[in-house]
Amino acid sequence: MSTTRRWATALLAAAAMTTASACVEVRDGSDGEGATNPDGPLTIAVAPKAVGHEFWTTVQAGAECAAQLAGDVTVEWDGVAAETDVEGQVNLIQNFVTTQVDGIVYAATDSAALAPATQAALDAGIPVAMIDSGTDPQPDEVPLYATDNRAGAVEAANLLADALGEGEHDVALIEFQPGSQTNTERVEGFTEGLASHANLTLVGQQPSHSDVNEARRVTEDLLTANPDLDGIFAANEPSVLGAVQAIEAAGRTGQITVIGWDASPDEIQGLRDGQIAALVVQNPFNMGYLGVANMVEHLREGTPMEPADTGVTFLTPENLDTEEAQAVLEPGCDNPPVDR
């Protein structure tokens, strides 16, 4: 699965999976309770935090799988180019409202800034479901399909402690996008986890802004400022890749233990090559699948949408090739790794 698939190509692929007649004009004016057009085609807008990363490509695959299995459903996949483009995402959600899609499924780049956009959609009678990251406040009728980020990050601290072993160790945290709900939860979870390991001292914390080059730069700074650094927790895909690059360039691969988040092909290769000790792996396919499947059921049958934990897997070189791990790493619509 390519990490650089352009959104236009993705949109064409989504359209090809369903009938050409599923256009935005089919919506009859929902009051948010669903079941307004149960027998007609539906258009569900799905927006990631940003297009381009492997994680969001897999979310898209799950969303399109749910649409294909439901029948007569089009996924309108669109997103901003960078997670820092909060204003762009606000405008994107407003555009979905203006074109009157039947439902909106999206991941908020900023939990506070996107809250009014969610409410605007609800006020227009368009139901909303969140994936990966919600808003603050989160309306009661808007479900969140996401990882338990706090619990996953607590375990990341435990994995780092186990990998480093006994003795005093300086460690660092590379977060990604301050203001994002998932970022906040991972930072809080990792900090909570560290509290259980008195031999680990957090000596540095920097954001990557979900950019590989920025992650590499801040890692270089951390290595310079902390020559005795033993471990790093990098909290998303770009953060992990940038950290690995900086450590390799410094000639310290194998000397600094990296615990990462997500499971792009480059991260998996890093795990195999010994550059990464363990990965906290979400189930992005499940996020996209549940978001669209439950939205369709809500629209067609009036079924209330309930939030769900989409699950997490902890990968190490020892369990990387197990059946459970491969089901999450190589999902497919013929046997989707989902739990409805």
Alpha helices in 137-252 (DSSP H): 149-164, 181-194, 212-225, 237-249
- 120 found inside a domain: yes
Of 13-17, 24-28, 134-138, 256-260, which range is least confident? 13-17
Q: Is the pLDDT of residue 30 over 50?
A: no
* Cα torsion angle, 269, 211, 64, 2, sign: negative
With cut-offs at 50, 70 and 90, classify the pLDDT of residue 14.
very low
Residue 252, domain CATH: 3.40.50.2300
The rounded radius of gyration (Å) of the Cα atoms in the chain is 20
Find where tokens 């800034």 sit.
113
* Cα torsion angle, 96, 97, 99, 100, sign: positive
What is this structure's pTM? 0.81
- 328 found inside a domain: no
- How confident is the model over 238-249, as pLDDT tens digits? 999 999 999 999
Q: What is the largest CA-CA distance in the chain?
A: 65
* Cα torsion angle, 247, 251, 256, 259, sign: positive
- 338 found inside a domain: no
- 326 found inside a domain: no
- 336 found inside a domain: no
Round to whole Å and give the CA distance between 185 and 156: 13
Alpha helices in the chain (DSSP H): 7-16, 54-70, 86-98, 115-123, 149-164, 181-194, 212-225, 237-249, 265-272, 284-301, 323-329
pLDDT of residue 3: 31
Q: Is the pLDDT of residue 21 over 80?
A: no
Q: Is the pLDDT of residue 296 over 80?
A: yes
291 with 278, same domain: the answer is: no
Q: What share of the chain is helix, strand, coil (3-state, %, to 5)?
A: 40, 20, 40
113 with 236, same domain: the answer is: no
Q: Which distant-in-sequence residues (6+ apart) come within 8 Å of 219 by Cβ?
A: 174, 232, 242, 243, 245, 246, 247
Q: From residue 62, give the alpha-carbon distance in Å to each of 92, 193, 272, 332.
A: 21, 31, 26, 8
134 with 154, same domain: the answer is: no
Q: Is the pLDDT of residue 24 over 70?
A: no
Question: What six digits make up the tokens of 96?
Answer: 């979905």
183 with 259, same domain: the answer is: yes
14 with 137, same domain: the answer is: yes
Of 50-59, 127-136, 143-152, which range is least confident? 50-59
What average pLDDT does the segment 320-338 reach? Answer: 86
With cut-offs at 50, 70 and 90, classify the pLDDT of residue 53.
confident
8 Å CB contact between 139 and 113: no
246 with 291, same domain: the answer is: no
- 323 found inside a domain: no
What average pLDDT does the segment 120-129 reach? Answer: 98
Amino acid symbol at 280: V
pLDDT of residue 244: 98
* 67 compared with 18, residue with greater pLDDT: 67
54 with 111, same domain: the answer is: yes
Domain residue limits at 295: 7-147+283-310
pLDDT of residue 324: 87
Round to whole Å and give the CA distance between 48 and 50: 5
Round to whole Å and give the CA distance between 41 and 12: 17
- How confident is the model over 60-75, as pLDDT tens digits? 999 999 999 999 999 9
- 212 found inside a domain: yes
Residue 97 CA to its chain's centroid (Å): 23
Task: Count how many domains the chain has.
Answer: 2
11 with 143, same domain: the answer is: yes
What average pLDDT does the segment 31-53 reach? Answer: 78
195 with 229, same domain: the answer is: yes
Q: Is the pLDDT of residue 116 over 90?
A: yes
8 Å CB contact between 336 and 62: yes
- 2 found inside a domain: no
pLDDT of residue 327: 86
Q: From residue 7, give the alpha-carbon distance in Å to each of 3, 13, 244.
A: 11, 10, 28
156 with 130, same domain: the answer is: no
161 with 254, same domain: the answer is: yes
* 26 compared with 247, residue with greater pLDDT: 247
160 with 266, same domain: the answer is: yes
pLDDT of residue 238: 96
- How confident is the model over 75-108, as pLDDT tens digits? 999 999 999 999 999 999 999 999 999 999 999 9
